[in-house]
Amino acid sequence: MLLIAGLGNPGARYSRNRHNIGFMAIAAIAAQHRIGPFRARFQGAAAEGMIGDVRATLLMPQTFMNESGRSVGEAMRFHKLDVGDVAVMHDELDLAPAKVRVKTGGGNAGHNGLRSISAHIGNDYRRVRLGIGHPGDRALVHSYVLSDFFKDEIGWVEAVCDAVARFAALLAQGQDASFQNKVHLAVEAAGFGDKKDDGPDA
């Protein structure tokens, strides 16, 4: 089994925030692969189903971002999974909007959700980094991630979530580089991103 957690904050007031793109991606995967309904479990909203030939639990922690690790850790322990069976989808300031990168382990780059997860389960889980861009000033980061996507950004957000959902079976099978490349090409074909893919992260 694979545990795929999307990060965000619970409640309608946060639902369109940049910080909630992980929730958006999970919702797209659930719709694409007909997984659901979501139920209150593991201090989150969880649903189980098949992504390709891999059984997966989709999880949206409802603990608020800073305590995401409590929810992810509970789900991982319940299913008796290893840290390598966990993938986390999250907003990434250090990637341009519409860029998607997959990496295992590494630093948390100030992301409180990742910091919490690493504290609860260790650091060697996979991260699906969903680029949202940077406001350009560290002092603006907090308000930037907790503000809604602008109307003219919704197109690329939907294109990214759709591509992540369509190719989620590759991620489930551990084919991270193929998943990343397919997502990149699909987002580009939808008219977003750029023409250059700088390859997978180490």
Report how far residue 161's alpha carbon sits from residue 130's, in angstroms, rounded to the nearest whole number.
Answer: 9
Looking at 19, 33, 90, 111, which residue is catalytic?
A: 19
How many degrees, rounded to 5, is the angle at CA 167 between CA 162 and CA 169?
Answer: 135
Strands, E, within 74-122: which ranges? 86-92, 100-104
19 counts as catalytic: yes
Angstrom distance (rounded) from CA 17 to CA 10: 11
User: Phi first, then psi: what are they for 158, rounded to 5°?
Assistant: -65, -40
Asked if the peptide bond before residue 37 counts as cis, ω within 30 degrees of 0, the response is yes
Backbone phi, psi, residue 149, to 5°? -60, 140
Which distant-in-sequence residues (6+ apart) come within 8 Å of 106 by Cβ?
Answer: 123, 127, 201
**Interacting residues of 199 by C-beta distance below 8 A, sequence separation 6+:** none
Which residues are catalytic, by number? Answer: 19
